[in-house]
Amino acid sequence: MLGRILIYAAFGGMLTAAFAYMYSFFSGDTKPIKIARAAYHVGAVSVILTAGYMMNLLLTHQFQYTYVWSYSSYELHPPLLISTFYVGQEGSFMLWTLYTSIIGLILMVYSRKHHYESSIMGVFSAIATFLVLIFVIKNPFEHVWQTWPSTVKAGFMPDNGRGLNPLLENFWIVIHPPILFLGFASTAVPFAHAISGLLRKDYRKWINVAVPWTLFTSAVLGFGITLGGFWAYETLGWGGFWGWDPVENSSFIPWLLAVASVHTLLVQRRTGGFKRANLIMGMLPFLLVLYSTFLTRSGVLGDTSVHSFETPGMWVYVFLVALIAFFAAIGFGLYFFRVRDIPKQKISYTLTSREFALFLGAASLVIVAGFTLIGTSAPLITGILEGKPSAINASYYIKTNLPLAIVMAAMIGLGQLFWWKKSNSQTLLKTMRFPLTAAAVLTAIVSFAGMHDISMILFFLASSFALFVNLEIAYKIAKGKPAFMGASLAHIGIALLFIGIIASTHYDKHVTLSLSPNEPQTAFGYKLTYTGTTQLDHGQTAYNVMVQSGSSRFNAPLVMYASQYNGGAMMRHPYIFSLINYDIFSHPALLAFIGKNMLTRDLYLSPQGLEQVGESALQATQYGISIPLKLNEPVKVGRYTYTFTGFQVPESERKAMMDGRPFHLNSIIKITNDAGKIQTIMPTDEIEPNGNTKLQSVTTKAGDKFTVLDVHVNDQTKMAAITMGYLPADNSPDISLLKQAAEQAQDTKQGLVIEATIKPFINLVWGGVLVMVIGFIVTWRRRRAELMQEQAQPVSQ
Amino acid sequence: MKTKYIVAGVVIVAFVVFGAISFMQNNIAYVSAKTAEKTNRTVQVKGSWVRNMQSYYDPNTNTFHFYMMDDDKTILPVVLAGAKPNNFEIANDIVAKGRFEDGAFQASEVLTKCPSKYQSKTGPQASTQSASNSLN
């Protein structure tokens, strides 16, 4: 009940604030502002209390609440228990709302100082109102008996909750979503400022506040996305850090637009140009966050996304469409209403000006965002055009975005060398000499080393050029004004990231190994030995693979288990030898091993499954000794030599098989005795569509009984094999073979199938992003300090 | 001034055409198992795993072999390049992307659609509750 009251208070507060602020803005009356401030405070405090109330329910295990029951349990440790707050649909919206409310409190103080509070906070309160409306429509504090009225009795208190999905039970769920959602929430600030600028016909000053916030969004969202990529690489075993999945793309697109906006805003600051473009660019990240939320939460992606979100029901769909329509209509409506009024500043620039490089860079970012958006919306587009939603292949993104990435990399280098307005070609050539030579030499070396793909060579050349240009500039700035090196740091980061992407995704090598217990195999210079299993907590099993390089060796526990939570599905976790490996704390010896082998490449070991090894092993079954036979490979057991020569399937049976009806399969086996006498038998199996097999044995004149126990056809290699049961006639000397087979059966071991991958220079991906984020933060701090100064001594601009 | 707009226009048109072509090339049509057998284009087939027919992983070729049944109840042998996909056992729908070749559907990717993975249909139950959790 308390939860509902808090939600209504929050909604009432935010709605009142939105109307009071807007009334004040349009009427020019300053009196309602006081009401609006009080109302916003009521709203924000209620949101904070609502979140606190939810957190309290989770921490005190109030399983009578559906949300608490659905995502948490007694077994969860505090950090994971806290993370259940935002694991579900309602909770993640609540986290977004919480951030938005708190950002609004900060924004209120800012905008008040700068005398544009009513318009900014009017828009911002409207956004907060809509977010709170989600909880008015869908109560997050529903009791279990309200959710499942037909199966759960009123007042029922479950013993325990369902718990957290084991896939999410790790450190990353604690850190990745809170950072990502902070990035999402922060996009509302530039949006509110752009709208406020349009409302006030102030097309210049709004950007002063928007710049630091856009930098903040770029840093936070960029960092959050990377954490997600690292999570996928490190724990989920997807093999890579990026899969172009809609859920990944949906945070990538707003980030691209925020970064593009950083660049176009810079042009406006320096030259006064791009006023119209910047208003649109200020709105887009927020609108795209809304659109992405719609794509990934409403269920429109259907079964085309790997991330299966729960099917949320119609209300989310309708609500999110209304939300996008509302804010897009306000934004674009106002823009088109004002567009004639926006002064056009002609900026005269040449092809070798920094403005042009910034424009090209930003344009590339926007086009990448556009291509990615279209690809992500493919299920929606094809659903409308073809009637059946289908996802696009990941190759689409690479094909469309690669040329743009090359342009971007080139501009990251050139843009820093160009001057504003026009560059002196003499100086330009002089400054280009070092980075261009260095990049060309490096590219020549790597193409000798095996990079032959022309698009990769171009991408590498442009990226390394960008790297050397920015390294040189960063070095110069660091000696003078380190506070100004943010841009070159961010660009160094991007250049490193690009090189890391080329190396780790285009030049990775992988091999699938079937490891028999204690029989070493060599891959990529490492000796890999499957040494056995270790039982872990929660019914999970580690399959230990000893990895040896030179004299040093280390055990890699590859984890596989059937997850009860996910309906018994098999979960597989890789083990990665990389510079980022926490096991060095428990195993200091690992440090030397990693330092020696993993500086330039990761070894990624991913478990695939278990299989019976020792195919030649005879086994004792109720049908006698089981003998595996490969096509046309004679096998001698006891008195006879057996050759499996193929199957015989009549046409009628073939049709039955394709129609899914029971069908008969005859296996042809040639039996040769010591005297060279040949006899051919054809045991028949009747295979029903439900997989049950009726075996029909063949008894020879000598009294030996043969049965085909299993049929095995490799569709790719066309290799057929069968397992034949052989029951010798009574008192046959072969009976001793049965004993032998029984003994061998006990020795039968399970082999481990793993995929070993070498990821060259993947550390450049992580390192690059880190440097880039630091660059954003350095610039953000500088712009914020400038803003503070401007506010301290209001200068008329 | 005019040349600037012409250049910009040409660039935009070029990007739109390039994007549209890439989109069509990489957008893989949904077809029935029967159509998949006839065409040599890369397509995707939606259906369900035939649990009771043989399925196995071949470590020599790193392929997972199984049979799927599409919505028209046609059974299609599938060879997936890779191991058994995550959530394969619990998926009620699967989507295989690939091409029919050498008597089987050679899939490059198999997507699994899981039944309300994170949601319960019946809610908490008194007796089974503790039992199901002890398994976790």
Minimum CA–CA partner of A396 in chain B: B26
Give mean pLDDT, residues A280-296.
Answer: 90
Cross-strand pairs, A641: A636, A672
| C-alpha distances in Å from residue A393, one per residue of A240, A390, A611, B20, B25 | 16, 10, 32, 14, 9
Q: How confident is the model at residue A569 (pLDDT cuts 50, 70, 90)?
A: low
Q: What is the per-residue pLDDT for A567? A: 62
Q: What is the pLDDT of residues A415-448, one digit of tens each?
A: 888 877 777 778 888 888 899 999 999 999 998 8
Q: What is the pLDDT of residues A371-395, one digit of tens each?
A: 999 988 888 888 777 777 777 888 8
Q: How confident is the model at residue B130 (pLDDT cuts 50, 70, 90)?
A: very low
ipTM of the complex model = 0.76
Of A129-133, A177-181, A400-404, B58-62, which gets the smallest average pLDDT?
B58-62
B97 vs chain A: nearest CA distance in angstroms?
Answer: 9
| Cβ–Cβ contact A387 with B under 8 A | no
The secondary structure of chain A in percent helix, strand, coil, rounded to multiples of 5, reads 55, 20, 25
Question: A264 near A279, Cβ under 8 Å?
Answer: no
A515 vs chain B: nearest CA distance in angstroms?
Answer: 10
Query: And the tokens for B76?
Result: 């299609």
CB pairs under 8 A between A and B: 196
- Which stretch, A174-178, A298-302, A742-746, B42-46, has highest mean pLDDT? A174-178
Residue A775 has pLDDT above 60, yes or no: yes
| C-alpha distances in Å from residue A124, one per residue of A17, A157, A161, A630, B30 | 9, 40, 37, 72, 43
Rounded to whole angstroms, the Cα distance separating A88 from A57 reads: 15
Q: Calculate the average pLDDT of chain A.
A: 84
What is the three-state SS of A301-339? CHHHCCCCCCCCCHHHHHHHHHHHHHHHHHHHHHHHHHC
Minimum CA–CA partner of B16 in chain A: A371
Instruction: Select from A300, A294, A268 the least CA-distant residue to A281.
Output: A268
Task: Determine what percent of chain A is predicted with pLDDT higher than 90.
Answer: 35
List, as ranges, residues 479-518 from A with C-beta within 8 Å of B.
Answer: 512-514
**Partner-chain contact B51 A539, CB within 8 Å:** no
Q: How confident is the model at residue A614 (pLDDT cuts 50, 70, 90)?
A: very low
Cross-strand pairs, A560: A541, A572
| Cβ–Cβ contact A156 with B under 8 A | yes
Which residues in chain A are contacts of B129 at CB distance < 8 A? 158-160
Length of chain B measured in residues: 136
Helix (H), strand (E) at residue A607: strand A601-612
Q: What is the per-residue pLDDT for B129? A: 39
Of A83-92, A142-151, A302-311, B78-87, which gets the smallest average pLDDT?
A302-311
Rounded to whole angstroms, the Cα distance separating B99 from B81 reads: 12
Rounded to whole angstroms, the Cα distance separating A133 from A320 reads: 11
DSSP class of residue A419 equals: B
**Partner-chain contact B79 A151, CB within 8 Å:** no
pTM metric for this prediction: 0.81
Rounded to whole angstroms, the Cα distance separating A774 from A777 reads: 5
Q: How confident is the model at residue A305 (pLDDT cuts 50, 70, 90)?
A: low
Of A241-250, A395-404, A655-664, B108-117, which gets the smallest average pLDDT?
B108-117
Residue A320 has pLDDT above 80, yes or no: yes
| C-alpha distances in Å from residue A469, one per residue of A93, A465, A699 | 43, 6, 82
* SS3 state of residue A706: strand
Query: And the tokens for A426?
Result: 């003499």
Task: Determine what percent of chain B is predicted with pLDDT higher than 90.
Answer: 4
Rounded to whole angstroms, the Cα distance separating B9 from A351 reads: 17
Most distant CA atoms of chain B, gap in Å: 78
Q: What is the per-residue pLDDT for A754? A: 86
**Partner-chain contact B122 A151, CB within 8 Å:** yes
Q: What is the per-residue pLDDT for A220? A: 94
Q: What is the per-residue pLDDT for A749? A: 61
Q: What is the per-residue pLDDT for A50? A: 96
Q: What is the pLDDT of residues A637-649, one digit of tens each?
A: 777 888 888 887 7
Q: What is the pLDDT of residues A148-179, one digit of tens each?
A: 888 888 888 888 888 887 777 778 888 999 99
Residue A251 has pLDDT above 60, yes or no: yes
Q: Which residue has the tokens 């308390």?
A: A2
Of residues A602 and A720, the one with the higher pLDDT is A602
Q: What is the per-residue pLDDT for A61? A: 93
List, as ranges, residues 34-73 from B with C-beta within 8 Å of A.
Answer: 44, 46, 50-54, 56-63, 65, 69, 73
Residue A331 has pLDDT above 90, yes or no: yes
B40 vs chain A: nearest CA distance in angstroms?
Answer: 16
Give mean pLDDT, residues A396-410.
Answer: 91
Q: What is the per-residue pLDDT for B127? A: 45
Instruction: Select from A413, A398, A400 the least CA-distant residue to A463.
Output: A413
Q: What is the pLDDT of residues A12-21, one digit of tens each?
A: 999 999 999 9
Decide the pairing of beta strands A720-727 and A624-630: antiparallel
**Partner-chain contact A716 B130, CB within 8 Å:** no
Of residues B28 and A494, the one with the higher pLDDT is A494
Give mean pLDDT, residues A319-339.
Answer: 91
Q: What is the per-residue pLDDT for A57? A: 95
Rounded to whole angstroms, the Cα distance separating A435 from A428 reads: 12
**Partner-chain contact A378 B53, CB within 8 Å:** no
Of residues A747 and A481, the one with the higher pLDDT is A481
Which residues in chain A are contacts of B117 at CB distance < 8 A? 165, 308, 310, 566
Residue A541 has pLDDT above 60, yes or no: yes
Q: What is the per-residue pLDDT for A131? A: 94
Q: How confident is the model at residue A402 (pLDDT cuts 50, 70, 90)?
A: very high
Q: How many CB atoms lie within 10 A of CB A597?
A: 21
Which residues in chain A are contacts of B61 at CB distance < 8 A? 714, 716-717
* SS3 state of residue B94: strand
List, as ranges, residues 592-611 from A with C-beta within 8 Å of B.
Answer: 608-609, 611
Of A88-97, A355-364, B83-92, which gets the smallest average pLDDT?
B83-92
Minimum CA–CA partner of B49 in chain A: A690
